[in-house]
Amino acid sequence: MSGLETRQAAGFTTVDRAGVLVVTVDRPPANALNRSAIHNLAALFAELGEMREAPPVVLTGQGERFFCAGGDIRELEGAAQEELDARMREFHALLVAMDRYPRPVIGAINGHCVGGGMEIALFADTVLAVQGARFGFPEINHGLLPADKGIQRATRLLGARAARKLLLSGDLFDVERALEIGLVDVLADPAELVDAAVASARLAGAKAPVLYGALKRSLNDPDDARDETSLQRTLASAADYFDDPVARGLRDSWNGSRSRGGKG
């Protein structure tokens, strides 16, 4: 990417708002991420991070109901273990790229933000959300697991007790609870959400980049060895649950309910 461009990639669009890049996840109906979307988002953050003047970024979702429903589980139907591994590697790379991004990242949560969507939100520096947004890690109820790096981030940001409750129950919760535990910073009007997020990104982007980037490095404490351990833990856990009959039964049941009109 040379400079900021308005463009459409598999799974998302980008729009330059006077130096703030608005990235909109766009995979109807639930903005669930398939492997190509995950790969392209990871590449975008890695590419932007290499720019001499990396822009502030706003992340939001297309539509009014979903920010991101997590990974597209339909992609796993009939897939080999190698395909699951590849997707896990891509998602880990996205979280690493966001973790190391030196400029402001603002989450504009326009609807349900669950699973992988919640992991992405945890790597934003500031999160705005609308009334009616729902959050959570439902993976344990669907025969899946979050990425280990996302789990570690949840523990650090939300606290061990809150993260334990969310991860082990799989329960979804409302924006008031998200504000209470520190996942969401600002409750925003839906009509003003993206504009408010852009304003927040621009204000943060006005800080000296060298200082902002240094503070993010100290706060996020990126570490190659720790990230590699986290990736290997994610891959080992995926290998255990991919063919486990109980986990597979949960995935099949969830897929069945969705095909009959259940929520994504």
Which residues are designated catalytic?
Answer: 119, 139
- Quote the CA–CA distance of 138 and 65 in Å, as a whole number: 17
Name the 3-class secondary structure at 251. helix
- Quote the CA–CA distance of 2 and 238 in Å, as a whole number: 37
Q: What would you report as the CA-atom Rg of the chain, rounded to the nearest whole angstrom?
A: 17
In our burial notation (b when 16+ CB lie closer than 10 A, e otherwise), range 200-227 reads bbbebbeeebeebbeebeeebeeeeeeb
Using CA atoms, how far residue 246 sits from 82, 170, 243, 249, 256, in Å, is 20, 16, 9, 5, 15
- Quote the CA–CA distance of 158 and 98 in Å, as a whole number: 18
Using CA atoms, how far residue 125 sits from 24, 128, 162, 166, 182, in Å, is 17, 10, 19, 21, 12
Long-range CB contacts (< 8 A, 24+ apart) of 216-221?
Answer: 216/101, 216/102, 216/125, 217/100, 217/102, 220/99, 220/100
The residue assigned the tokens 């969507």 is 117
Q: For residue 166, count other CB atoms closer than 10 A to its CB.
A: 24
